[in-house]
Amino acid sequence: MEEAKGVVKHVLLAKFKEGTAQDQIDQLIKDYANLVNLIEPMKSFQWGKNVSIENLHQGFTHIFESTFESTEGVAEYVAHPAHVEYANFNLFIPFFSRLSGLTNLKHKGLGAPLGLSL
């Protein structure tokens, strides 16, 4: 795969399981956001809730976006011990009923706050 130069986005669409307490959701998001302080290649993190008026969200309730300077940075992030610990199925995955991830979306930026509108 050719190295992507410039801004590379990693996007995760998610739906939390029914019964997940709001304080658990808040803590998971806080911990996810903190990865930007622990993993050098991760340049920024944003998240938002579904704001779709078209009802095309396919059940997803949240969007999480991480920014990297290259696909190499994404690979470093994926292998980083802090990410591995956070993403471990015992800490993160069990809280979701639905996940979909996209990575290596190269673009100059969104230019607007994130909100899930598919």
Number of H helices, E strands in the chain: 3, 4
Q: Which of 62, 80, 86, 107 is catalytic?
A: 80
3-class SS at 82? helix
Q: For 112, how many CA atoms within 13 A lie in the half-sphere containing its CB?
A: 3
Asked about 80 being catalytic, the answer comes back as yes
DSSP state, residue 54: S
3-state secondary structure 73-90: HHHHHHHCHHHHHHHCCC
Residue located via tokens 């995760």? 12
First-to-final CA distance of the chain = 28
Asked about 62 being catalytic, the answer comes back as no
DSSP state, residue 92: S
Q: Which of 10, 32, 77, 83 is catalytic?
A: 77
Q: Tell me the catalytic residues.
A: 77, 80
